[in-house]
Amino acid sequence: MNRVLIPAVLALFSATALAADPVVNTASSEIGFSAKQMGVAMQGRFKQWTAQMRFDPKKPEAGQVSFAIQTGSASFGAKETDAELPKPEWFGVAKFPTASFQSSAIKGLGGGKFEVAGKLSVKGNVKDIVVPVALSQAGGATTVTGAFTIKRLDFKIGEGEWADTSMVANDVVVNFKLAISGMAPL
């Protein structure tokens, strides 16, 4: 009996030890955001961020996802606006150079759809959020997309005179498209 059990346990251990976590290709991925200023939609993105995940679509409840976003990399693509974003009224980059997300639970909804609950931390303010996520796979590549809305004032983004939501809307939509390699099949 031991002759059968020992090789089976060793094979299972080896497969687990060799299995790699999925990897996010940041060069082929994007984290963006949109907001309205005086009723005009503005699109921006974060140019520098990292992500780590341990995730199997067939066992989502065992997964974990985390992001670290360099707030100084936020850009609307306009020099004047981009020069304002690092200031204390907005992202306060000197004091808060990183925003982060850490998952606390992942729930499978079927059909490649998931809900990722966790804590979003921006400018020292931490809020619980739930992020709807969709996975699609083709040719061994996985694409993860999603979007969620935050209230910028909950995170003290746009303080002082910029707290007036008639100037800059309180709702900010964060959207993402991630290219992932090494993910198990759906």
Average pLDDT score over residue span 16-23: 64
Range of weakest confidence among 8-12, 149-153, 178-182: 8-12
Average pLDDT score over residue span 86-113: 97
Percent of the chain with pLDDT over 90: 87
**Domain residue extents for the chain:** 20-181
Whether residue 15 has pLDDT greater than 50? no
pLDDT bucket at 16, cuts 50 / 70 / 90: very low
Whether residue 7 has pLDDT greater than 50? no
Whether residue 9 has pLDDT greater than 50? no
Whether residue 104 has pLDDT greater than 60? yes
CATH of domain 20-181: 2.40.128.110
Q: Are 24 and 53 in contact (CB under 8 A)?
A: yes
pLDDT bucket at 8, cuts 50 / 70 / 90: very low
Dist CA 126 CA 52 (whole Å): 19
pLDDT of amino acid 139 = 87
3-state helix, strand, coil in the chain (%, to 5): 20, 50, 30
pLDDT of amino acid 12 = 40
Farthest CA pair distance, the chain: 75
Taking only the tens place, the pLDDT of each residue in 33-81 is: 999 999 999 999 999 999 999 999 999 999 999 999 999 999 999 999 9
Per-residue HEC secondary structure of 112-143 comes to CEEEEEEEEEECCEEEEEEEEEEEEEECCEEE
Taking only the tens place, the pLDDT of each residue in 137-160 is: 998 899 999 999 999 999 999 999
Whether residue 1 has pLDDT greater than 90? no
